[in-house]
Chain A
Amino acid sequence: MRILVVEDDLEAQRYLVNGLKEAGHVVDDAADGETGLTLALSRPYDVAIIDRMLPKMDGLRVVAEMREHSNATPVLFLSALSEVDDRVKGLKAGGDDYLTKPYAFVELLARIDALMRRRAPQAVKTRLQVGDLELDLLTRTAKRAGAAIDLQPREFRLLEYLMRHASQVVTRTMLLESVWEYHFDPQTNVIDVHISRLRAKIDKGFETPLLHTVRGAGYMIRARAA
């Protein structure tokens, strides 16, 4: 995948670029807003990672300009600013996701994957399937190997999110943001408890587990063991 990184802190930029390259992505970089905008408009990218505060042209303006030129590349904002209302500003300016520095690299990778997935043209799905686990989005019911699984509404949303991002790492923060719509870090990892309950409902009594814990990163739902 082609990724554009616009970051003025050169050391942070180097780590970001190296990390992304190691993860198998093709990366272009820019150190200021103007160069970033020129690159974003001249070449096709799958995702752009843009720092919120940049020399020459502010990150918010870069994205606003991109959107004005009908450039729909998904944008992930990186920000070292305080966050109470900054996130809202970033998303209003046309950003698709927002990550506060310092961030865990796995968090960044997981979010980029989610953004690229979102970009791929999707038929409106009414059913999701991973292995023998089926989710009917219309009747809001779940079945594994033909047997109905009783899910609470929030458990259904949690499973739906995981299945929409099947074979992809989903972090705890992403779950908290997407399923619960909270943008803060609870002191105790409440998400883990929800996941273990969900796991008990979908994996208990089956030989092949579907819901996996990815150490140091989050969770993943997939059919085959990696």
Chain B
Amino acid sequence: MRAPSILRTQAYRIVLVYVAVFAISVTALLAFTYWNTKRALDAQTDEIIQVEITGLSEQYQQLGLRGLADVVISRSAHGGPGLYLLTNHLKQPIVGNLDAWPTDKETPDSFVDFQYQRRVENQLETREARGRVFKLPGEFYLLVAQDVHERYLTERLFTTTLPWTVGLVLLLGLVGGAVMSRNTLARLDSINRTSAEIIDGDLSRRVPVGTSHDEFDALAENLNAMLDRIERLMKGVREVTDSVAHDLRTPLNRLRNRLETTQRHLDPATAEAVEIEAAVAETDQLIATFNALLLIAEADAGVARGAMTLIDLASIVEDMAELYAPLAEEKGVTLKITPAGATMIEGNRSLISQALANLVDNAIKYTPAGGSVTVTALETPQGVELRVADTGPGIPADERARVIERFVRLDASRSAPGTGLGLSLVAAVARLHEARLLLEDNAPGLRAVMRFPRPAPRR
């Protein structure tokens, strides 16, 4: 058996779902924190700006434009994060610590984010800022802003690391999941291996139970308990068939013995001897029916499952055709086999031979002189098939299922000799081999098909 790809396993699929849910949660949490923090910091900046504005506006009201310009000059010299710029109507700077009007998208009296350039250690640097613009009487403009460049950098750091964080979560989750599913798989594998061995016929095998008392150990224990029970039941069936066989065969044996002893001591010419001979024949018929029933019961109970080996259907077909060829010829029926390559299945040679003998026997029995019976073993896409096709009267479509039932024989053939268990046995052998028994229209005639599963590759 090929080790299944870890990606196809249920355990791994569950892990995948968990990792996906976890990654989404982490992303959502981080995004929420980011958004909330940004909002709080923005509010704080806006408040600072508001306070500045209130101060400046008082100066303007008390001292006019000149007073305002003085305050702007003094505050600009301060060197903190505060940014100020007073311009004329053409937005040409009058006073302030910005070299040029930084933005053209502003609407008066609302907050605006913009970039400005500042010389830091002889390097011209573009920085982020946030502020508010006022239009003063006389076509003057005032910009009051705060440098938020440090915050901006922190934010950018956050947004660039977020995908990496999520990626890392996914990666770790997948690797962890693989390890976990491998662990799970190893234990499932041991259960599967044991099951396969049991299917192969070794009912004494048990699933190894670990020491951790987890769900798997509970599963293993339950499986083992179930197997114990099945083994007991199988043994019971075996014992029942054995004791039924013994209890019925012993009196049948005595009956036959008595009849035979009586027969030995009679002159074969007498009427009594003829009667006894008929009684022996009836007894033999009884024994044959009983043996067939027993065999069906055994095949159904899977008693013979242990005796399965790799066998070639084509060789069974050849042997059986060889056995039945003279009988067919004597009846004027052509018995043909279609040559085939090796058609291997896992099975019990004796039971399959017997089933095939029953099918061929029936086919010859029901095919009129001049007809033909064709036996074939072949591999089809559905499996490995054993086919017996005749050109006899066939079986009406609605009666085919009934034919396979025990004891049921078609009314038209009630008078033909046989136990009537021939096809039932074939059906039981088919069930034992997990094969399908199909009765199809051969147009004209009947085609019986036993479709076996392909043998599992040997390990």
Contact = CB atoms under 8 A, between A and B. Distances in A.
A81 B326 contact: no
A185 B288 contact: yes
Interface stretch (B159-167, B256-264, B371-379): B256-264
A87 B251 CA distance: 21
Contacts of A104: 256, 260, 284
B276 to A, nearest CB: 11
A53 B241 CA distance: 15
A82 B258 contact: no
Nearest to A86: B242
Contact of B242 (A18, A81, A193): A81
Interface in B238-263: 241-242, 245-246, 249-250, 252-258, 260-261
Contacts, number: 116
Interface string B280-292: 0001100110010
Contacts of A183: 350
B294 interface: yes
Contact of A101 (B249, B261, B283, B358): B249
A24 to B, nearest CB: 13
B361 A19 contact: no
Contact of B365 (A18, A105, A188, A216): A188
A9 B250 CA distance: 8
Contacts of B353: 182, 184
A18 B256 CA distance: 14
A70 interface: no
A85 B242 contact: no
A218 B264 CA distance: 16
Given A9-B250, A11-B254, A80 B358 contact: no
Nearest to A80: B249
B287 A85 contact: no
Interface residues of B, dominant DSSP: helix
A31 to B, nearest CB: 14
Contact of A82 (B255, B264, B294, B419): B294
A180 B323 contact: yes
Interface string B209-252: 00000000000000000000000000000000110011001101
Given A12-B254, A102-B253, A187-B418, A194 B283 contact: no
Given A182-B353, A184-B354, A188-B361, A85 B306 contact: yes
A103 B255 CA distance: 11
A80 B257 contact: no
A193 B257 contact: no
Given A85-B307, A101-B252, A183-B350, A15 B261 contact: yes
A53 B322 contact: no
Interface of B: 241-242, 245-246, 249-250, 252-258, 260-261, 264, 277, 283-284, 287-288, 291, 294-295, 298-299, 303-304, 306-307, 319, 322-324, 326-327, 330, 348, 350-351, 353-354, 357-358, 361, 364-365, 417-419, 422
